[in-house]
Amino acid sequence: MPLPAGVYRADHVGSFLRPKPILAAREKLNTNDISLEELRKLEDEHITTVVQKQIENGLQSVTDGEFRRAFFHIDFLQHIEGVERQGSLASTNVTSHGMTPPRVVVVGKLEHPKPIQVADFKFVEGQVSTTKASEGIKHTITTKVCIPSPTMVHFRGGRDSISTEAYPMLEPFFEDLVKVYQAEIADLYEAGCRFVQLDDTNLAYLCDEGMRGEAATRHGEDPQKLTKQYAALINAAISKRPKDMVIGIHLCRGNFRSQWFAEGGYEPVAEVLFKELDVDVYFLEFDDERSGDFSPLRHLPESKTVVLGVMSSKKAELDGKAAMVRRLNEAATFCPRGLDQLCLSHQCGFSSTMEGNDLSEEEQWAKVRLEVEIAKEVWGSDLSA
């Protein structure tokens, strides 16, 4: 069975370390010493470079590196009408750097007055076409768009973060949220996008016993019921996608400056995740013992694919090739079709927030090259097969 279109044996989650000029420009933006237009022009220059580097280093799925974002989710969500960023979350999971995640609040009716990611997609698609033409590349290269899962509007704040004036009852809130995502996906499809990845921390956080307890208190219901509710929410959000659009989902336990926020194996959510969620491919974090063992993969249907994040984007040193091959083969024993259902990646991106993980750009690309090398050793030179 072939891989879903746009999925590759050597794949990645989406974000790359921000170049220093972009970080400096964002600081200037905060002090009004640079305009949004000037920042975007600078981002264009560096996105052009990161597209070329992804292709040069062997990747066939290409993103903008999330260079236009400070946070993987906030910079998308705040463009939904009715959503605002307000302060930080109250959380027991505070990093040693003193960061708590920003808080999104629903202050009015949710609407989608205009596309959010279309212009960004078109820019990357243009750079891919230019690079392919200049380098004489014949194989397929996919422009992937990464957007936060719709659960990101609800999980962390719950009822307290949603205006009771705009939404006295929560059912209309979820209905409007679904419509926003349906509209964005439709706009992306019309622009030519055929692969969308939903980035979701919440289904992974519901694997953590402590966070399950917090969720039960915050939402006033059993975490397992919330898991099923989120699967239904995501399914509704993607339900109108055309048949030739592939949807992936990435589950993450936190990735701020090489730190994490949650732990726990996938078993508490595995059956819902694999049997009820109507996505084509899963990007799953499996880089260390925090993620548990591979046994939850026994629930994986034959028709679906997992991009196995056994490599680590959090550390500078290279993962051991033999260890990665061994772990891939171990995971394959739980999959109905074995290795044929698996691909390889790092557990998360290299820069889920603009600060990035604790490694250099040179070390980042060395890790990408090693990943491609391992994938070719395991599956052969055609990474789309």
Q: Which of 204, 292, 288, 291 is nearest to 252 (CA)?
A: 204
In a domain? residue 6: no
Q: How confident is the model at residue 262 (pLDDT cuts 50, 70, 90)?
A: low
In a domain? residue 10: no
In a domain? residue 251: yes
Rounded Cα gap, residues 198 and 235, in angstroms: 12
pLDDT the model gives residue 169: 96
How many alpha carbons fall within 13 Å on the CB side of residue 165? 5
**10-50 confidence digits (pLDDT tens):** 999 999 999 999 999 998 988 888 999 999 999 999 999 99
In a domain? residue 269: yes
Rounded Cα gap, residues 227 and 230, in angstroms: 5
Alpha-carbon distances of 225 from 216, 230, 231, 266, 316, rounded to whole Å: 10, 9, 10, 16, 39
**Mean of per-residue pLDDT scores for the chain:** 91
Domain count, the chain: 1
pLDDT the model gives residue 236: 98
**268-320 confidence digits (pLDDT tens):** 999 999 999 999 999 999 988 888 899 999 999 999 999 999 999 989 999 99
**134-165 confidence digits (pLDDT tens):** 999 999 999 999 999 999 899 878 888 999 99
In a domain? residue 1: no
CATH number, residue 201 = 3.20.20.210
Which residue range forms the structural domain that includes residue 234?
20-379
Which alpha helices (H) appear in the chain, and where do they start and end? 20-30, 36-56, 74-77, 118-135, 170-191, 202-205, 209-219, 223-238, 270-275, 321-332, 361-379
pLDDT the model gives residue 257: 58
